[in-house]
Amino acid sequence: MFESAIPALIEMITWPAPLYLFLGVVLGMAFGILPGLGGPQVLALLLPITYGMDVDLAIVLLIGAMAAVPFGGSIPAILINTPGTGQSAATCFDGFPLAQQGKAGMAIGASATASCLGAIFGAVVLTFLLPIGRQVVLLFSYPEYFMLALMGLSVIIVVSKDSLWKGLIAAILGLMLSTIGYDPVTGSVRFTFGSDHLWDGIRLVPAFIGLFAIGEAIELFLKKGKIAQVEYSGKISDVFTGIKSVFQYFGLFFRCSIIGTVIGIIPGVGGAVSNFIAYGHALQSSKDSDNFGKGDIRGVIAPEAANNSKDGGALVPTLIFGIPGSIEMAVLLGALIVLGLEPGPRMMLERPETVLILIYVLVAGNILVSIFGLFSAGIMVKLTYVPATLLAPVVFMLALMGSYLTHGMIFDVVVSLIFGILAFAMKRFGFSRVAVVIALVLGRLAQKTFHQTLMLWGVKGFFVRPISLGLFIITLAMILFPYIQAALRKKRGA
């Protein structure tokens, strides 16, 4: 396979491939910025255009667009607290507070750098894993999925340190909401109140848009003034400060890139899970975590590194088995089949140069979109100085439009409005929206894999498999570490 590396690189840089890459990146970035749109939508839009195209050029266009979406989604998350994609929700936690402090350029610089380097990390891992990827994918089953979900849920205890009871109440609310809909294990329909729309449960993107965008729009209506409370100098040095911060916390970046890649490899888990786990890891591994949620640059670096490295991981089961690792990969898998390619060992034997082009474009697309972001940061941050009375209606309308465009259903708009009102009330009374989001994302995965593990192995199934037991021990350590650390500090003080 590696003997095809040079021919594949030459193919990618030969005209008109760079033009298709540029067009794909621009379109992907636009879809990432617009709330409710994302990778699946841009791939579905481009698929008809690729009919009759050269296969390699079609892949350049599709992967270029897919690569640009994650960073595009982080831009509105930082500037207006509106995640462009569901995977960008974790970036809101510290990205938006930084924008409020007049440090939006710093946040965008860190996001662009962590995204780019994370994608390169994921692509390198993908390159070396392809020959042995079959064994890696088969290591994970239902107990490992459950323990990953449990690990993510343990983050709630840490993010709720200001008021543990309020955090736990918010988490229970999120877990209750995650039980709505058709149970894939038992076959029962729960808490749908006679609505056919709730059979699939509460969709995450409309819920996120409500919790962050609409809730923030209501707050802006009442707040007036501007988003940023400190004047931004507009100097490019702020962006460079964000770039340097990634190297300052390179150990954190590296660990979160590993988290994103590993979780990306596991089929069906999704990017939102990896981002929340990465954010939780950043919070729990920091000796000074008091600033998280208030504008800590580490809270931007961690989810953005995981967000982009997970694409390299998600391509492992997609290319080796033809099993999509995420929704984007499911659409990409369909696109590859339409183009006459059949992902699997056969494709890697017969078309190794096509596989390598795919990896090269994933890296090139992330580098290109990060350069766009870095050079346009000074212009984009000015959005935070638009009067709130003018910005709030725009955010509100974009949020409603994004909710509708996700699946083309008015019901999703209603869901976003309900969650927007809920978010406003939670913010006013000091309840954690982060806890609701984490529980809503991970609750479905936890309940499904819990039932499946019990049906196949019983309770012992969680502890007899080495990886599952290892994840359980790590989760216990994550929960107990802050309390042990606090006790040791108290002892030293005494």
Domain boundaries, the chain: 2-228+237-493
* pLDDT classification of 135: cutoffs 50, 70, 90: low
Query: Of the given ranges (11-25, 59-73, 260-274), which has the lowest mean pLDDT?
Result: 260-274
The candidate with the shortest Cα–Cα distance to 4, out of 369, 407, 354, 300, is 354
Cα-only R_g, the chain: 22
Which tokens belong to 441?
Answer: 């994302």
Percent of the chain past pLDDT 70, that is, above it, reads: 78
Residue 13 has pLDDT above 80, yes or no: no
Give the Cβ contact number of residue 231 at 10 Å.
9
Residue 368 has pLDDT above 80, yes or no: yes
Kind and range of the H or E run holding 253: helix 250-265
Residue 28 has pLDDT above 70, yes or no: yes
Kind and range of the H or E run holding 231: none
- The span from the CA of 371 to the CA of 408, in Å, is 33
Taking residues 56-65, report their average pLDDT. 83
The SS3 of residue 386 is coil
Residue 351 has pLDDT above 60, yes or no: yes
For residue 172, what are the contacts with CB-CB under 8 A and spacing of at least 6?
Answer: 439
Residue 120 has pLDDT above 60, yes or no: yes
